[in-house]
A and B are shown apart, each in its own frame.
Chain A
Amino acid sequence: MSVIEVKVPLMTQQKRKFGFETRMLHAGHIPDPVTGARAAPIYQTTSYVFEDTDKAAQLFELKQYGNIYTRINNPTTAIFEERVASLENATGAVATASGMAAQFATMMTLLEPGDEIVSSSHLYGGTKTQFTHTFKKLGVTAHFVDPTDLEAWDKAWTPKVKAFYGETIGNPQGSILDIEAVAAIAHRRGVPLIVDSTFATPYLCRPMDWGADIVVHSATKFIGGHGSSIAGVVVDSGKFDFSTYPTIAAPDPAYHDLRFYETFGHYGFLMKTRAVTLRDTGAALSPFNAFLLIQGLETLSVRMDRHVQNALAVAKFLKAHPKVAWVAYAGLEDSPYHALAQKYTPRGPGAVFTFSLKSSNARLAGKQFIESLHVFSHLANIGDVRSLVIHPASTTHQQLSEEELIEAGIDAGMIRLSIGLETTEDLLWDLDQALQQTSA
């Protein structure tokens, strides 16, 4: 006994739950044992030399955890994945090449032809298109509901429904999903609630703390933060019982009849997503992009505090402006979503919101307004450090029919802003001078 104690000195354990900011900087990254490099190294490699043939075989059979091929995993990407998982209070994560790839990988892992999903209609237009048209080609039907109508979620459920889906902060209405209530309905029906939390980031809202089972992000946005990289991530709480989901629980012929849920338990869904869906669909994140996202995560809390501070100032300014018809920001006290925002995003409901111009010709006014701005960048993205502006009816949501536009809560004169980190007064000045050049 004493011999053993000499070989293994003291293993003290100081039990401590570290705070969000500490995990933002440290989770998932222990300094390199050989070089001691403090910043996350970029492992720009496609593949990894195996120790020997036995270890290689074990890796391919998933009997060992390890790096095989960067389409499946990568050490730089793993830092990003573990860090996001830690920040979401989740069991793990799988990074993808984009946010669209993240939600697609999630659904590809869960669903089979003939399955259905119930989704909020307050969605990013690209998501709506993916669910409606691309999923149709795969034999999957999406039922869309008004997310604020809780009964609608339950009514839309059928025995073929395998997932509920919604956005923490709906794009572009700024509605706040009642995560706790919708998760309760989903769980009563035996299906997981999947939440796209792109607009909130794990700093402003952690959907799993309210019962969501899977969270997806477009990491392109506030997580990366600098408008430099396209990326996505799938995050799993590890709490949902997938034992009745054949896609995860049944023997997988591609892995010698391995049952992912039985074998990997709380990370069965993620292992299946990584080892099968990511392997077969190929939308892997580049290690260099993973590095840039890690840089973004390191300042997430500081940036988000400033984003929401600027967003509230801009929303209040526009609200009081004579040329503005309405402002839809849940941070404003008269927003119908203000109470839900206080509950789910107490630090502020993000920095993306819409407003509409007061004009007899909304389409023309929208064009004049956007072309008069000097500081706001006119482009199709959100969540940059810089302030952004777009006219959804002619861009992000232009694939939608007039009927779908109304259903998605979009009017022709609506402008979407993503508020950045510029000097607050400069943003207000820019909006004011552009509004003055807008015809009534």
Chain B
Amino acid sequence: MGSGSSLAADVSMNTILSPEDQVKYMDPGVIRTVLATTKTVAIVGLSPKPERPSYFVGSYLQSEGYRVIPVNPRATEIFGEKAYPDLLSIPFPVDMVDVFRQPEECVEIAKQAVQIGAKTLWLQLRVVNLEAAQIATDGGLKVIMDRCVKIEHGRYSGSLHWVGMNTEIISARRGQRYF
């Protein structure tokens, strides 16, 4: 983990959120804080199929040291972790709820995330539901929306840069993990 120094940038590409909602739901400071403080991530809609996007994200987070809890009623175990049918069934606290479901399912997921005392609700790229975001915000959660947790982790840890992607980060300071 890096020293968490300040960072001046405008990370604003590849989103369908309005500029006002971008300020609320994709603030780089919030994202970096979440990536640095989260230990346990429940992924709602994590697929057991290795070729699916959710599996890519889940296995990536696991290899980066996070504990990943699958939430999928049709799975029993994914990459060595027991799967739960819903958030309420998880018998221990989780820090972040990461969502790979349709936007219309997010209100219920947000309510459950508040109920289990999660600290962050993260809705993946194009999983946009402003009502769900408001429920989680009112429940005291940090909310990140229309971003991919793997891409953001890669952006601030430096690895996204290796594949020629525009991280939108500008810095003349010595390299470090920016979270």
> Interface on A for B, CB 8 Å cutoff?
4, 7-18, 22-23, 26-28, 30-33, 36, 54-55, 58, 61-67, 73, 75, 77-78, 81-82, 85-86, 90-95, 238, 251, 255-259, 262-263, 265-267, 270-271, 274
Given the contacts A11-B6, A86-B168, A256 and B174 also touching, CB distance less than 8 Å: no
Residues of B within 8 A of A90 (CB): 166
With A and B bound together, what is the CA distance between A270 and B164 in angstroms? 9
Query: Which of B27, B63, B125, B166 is in CB contact (< 8 Å) with A82?
Result: B166
Give Cα A11–Cα B175 distance, bound, in whole angstroms: 16
CB-CB under 8 A from A85, the residues of chain B are: 164-166
Q: B28 at interface (Cβ–Cβ under 8 A)?
A: yes
Q: B residues touching A (Cβ–Cβ < 8 Å)?
A: 1, 3-4, 6-10, 12-14, 27-29, 32-33, 36-37, 50-53, 56, 59-60, 63, 125-126, 148, 154, 158-176, 179
A256 B51 Cβ-Cβ under 8 A: yes
Bound-state Cα–Cα, A16 to B174, Å: 20
User: Which B residues are in CB contact (< 8 Å) with A67?
Assistant: 162
How many residue pairs, one in A and one in B, have C-beta atoms under 8 Å apart? 154
CB–CB B161/A9 < 8 A: no
Closest to B157 in A: A65
Which residues from A are CB-within-8-Å of B164? 73, 77-78, 81-82, 85, 92-95, 270, 274
Query: A residues within 8 A CB of B7?
Result: 11-14
Cβ-defined partner of B6 (8 Å) among A12, A36, A66: A12
Q: Are B33 and A11 in contact (CB under 8 A)?
A: yes
A31–B56 CB distance below 8 A: no
Residue of B37, B60, B163, B171 touching A58 (CB-CB under 8 A):
B60
The smallest beta-carbon distance between B51 and chain A, in angstroms, is: 5
Report yes or no: A26 in contact with B13, Cβ–Cβ below 8 A.
no
B172: which A residues are within 8 A, CB to CB?
Answer: 26, 31
Chain B residues, CB < 8 A from A77: 164
Give, as a whole number of angstroms, the nearest-CB distance from A318 to chain B: 40
Other A-B contacts than A7-B36, A18-B9, A266-B125, 14 sampled, CB-CB below 8 A, are A11-B36, A12-B6, A13-B6, A13-B28, A15-B8, A15-B9, A28-B161, A82-B164, A82-B167, A92-B165, A262-B53, A263-B52, A267-B163, A270-B165
Give chain A nearest CB distance to B152 CB in angstroms: 12
